[in-house]
Amino acid sequence: MREDSVHEKIKPFLKWAGGKGQLLPAIVKRLPDGIADAKTVYFEPFVGGGAVYSYLNSECRFSKCHICDINRDLYTAYYAVKHRPAELIAILEEFAGEYLPLDAERRKECYLRHRDSFNAAKGTDGFCGGGKSLRGKKRSHSPSQSVYHAAELIFLNRTCFNGLYRVNSEGLFNVPHGRYKNPRIANRDLILAYGRLLSNTEIHCGDFTLLEEAIKEQGERAFVYLDPPYRPISRTASFNSYAADTFDDGSQKRLAEFFRRCSDAGARLMLSNSDPKNTDPGDSFFDDLYDGFVIERVRASRRINSDAGKRGEINEIIIRNY
């Protein structure tokens, strides 16, 4: 990591549950030696709001990055920021002009209108930037429609309760309206800077295994940071509804096998998750899955629980193969 960095420090343009902003110091402290050299290719298969990606890529300026997430709305937003920033900013400025002058009641109506419109656009096989879907089928929406969808996601993220992204079992965004006095809906400088940051980055939409071949191909040049949905701390504190599909223990096991295969190919990998020992000291789920790798526990404050009393400090787990 360059101490004398003059690079722009770029913050995420979306707030995202499980965002790793506050775990960054612990992550940075454990990065592999030589990560900032020109040869490193960075992979983040569960990118979410990209707190780690944006920090590391602006600090290190990797030769190439690959970011991935199963959430198609998120993909659409990254794609628009990279390829259509001016159009995206213009739509956001229009939304800000529409929303900000209103009183609280009308703001809520405006929010709910956009939420309905956002959900109505979701059901169809669109919004992957006009490119091809993973199934190779041509997308049915024009790039402009996908930029509009991206703008609605950013608008909802800025104006909803707590800046959460949460969907119901049908995949529909269901977060209530928030009460921010002056939300920053159209952050022109941030979107332009983020678009420049993404210029060395390929954006993918799908399951984390989508990146496996590319990681193996890079071998020792690859650094992979994995931040999958948390294994719920308790049965009642479950929060992993970033997508309609849940990430259960079977998925965690599939991920551990992926971790081992990429490790065998020479890649360096770091993974973070909640520590099940927070609530059950006898639960050695991750210790068993990642037996043989470096497993550490670090303190972190968890913010996603809506019950303020449950936002205290807990352990997170950081696993590395180096």
Q: Which residues bind ligand SAM (CB under 6 A)?
A: 16, 18-20, 45-46, 48-52, 68-71, 207-208, 227-229, 242-243, 247
Rounded to a whole number of angstroms, the minimum distance from the CB of residue 16 to ligand SAM is 4
Q: Which is nearer to ligand SAM, 91 or 262 (CB)?
A: 262
Identify which of residues 208 and 290 has a Cβ nearer to ligand SAM in the complex: 208
* Nearest residue to 55 (alpha-carbon basis) of 238, 191, 194: 194
Tell me the closest approach of the beta carbon of residue 254 to ligand SAM, in angstroms: 8
Q: How far is the CB of 11 from ligand SAM (least distance, A)?
A: 11
- Pull the structure tokens for residue 240: 């992993």
Q: 70 or 224: whose CB is closer to ligand SAM?
A: 70
Q: Which is nearer to ligand SAM, 47 or 121 (CB)?
A: 47
Q: Is residue 305 within 8 Å of 30, Cβ to Cβ?
A: no
| Secondary structure percentages of the chain, helix, strand, coil, to 5 | 45, 15, 40
What Cα–Cα distance (Å) separates residue 27 from each residue in 51, 113, 236, 263, 319?
Answer: 11, 40, 28, 18, 10
Judged by beta carbon, residue 31 or residue 96, the one nearer ligand SAM is 31
Residue, CB closest to ligand SAM: 48
Q: How far is the CB of 86 from ligand SAM (least distance, A)?
A: 25
Quick one: 27 or 96, whose CB is closer to ligand SAM? 27
User: What is the rounded CA–CA span in Å between residue 261 and residue 101?
Assistant: 54
Q: Where are the beta strands (DSSP E) in the chain?
A: 41-44, 64-69, 201-205, 222-226, 268-274, 294-301, 313-320
Give 298's strand partners: 316
Question: At closest approach, how far in Å is the CB of 290 from ligand SAM?
Answer: 17
**Axis crossing angle, helix 72-83 with helix 85-99, rounded to the nearest 10:** 110
Q: Which CB atom, from 115 or from 231, has the smaller least distance to ligand SAM?
A: 231
Shortest spacing between CB 87 and ligand SAM, in angstroms:
24
Contact between 157 and 13 under an 8 Å Cβ cutoff? The reply is no
CB of 180 to ligand SAM, least distance (A): 20
State which residue, 99 or 194, has the beta carbon closest to ligand SAM. 194
Least distance between ligand SAM and beta carbon 61 (Å): 19
Cα(121)–Cα(130) distance, integer angstroms: 14
Q: What is the DSSP string of 157-191?
A: HHHBGGG---B-TTS-B-PPB---SS-----HHHH
d(CA 171, CA 207): 16
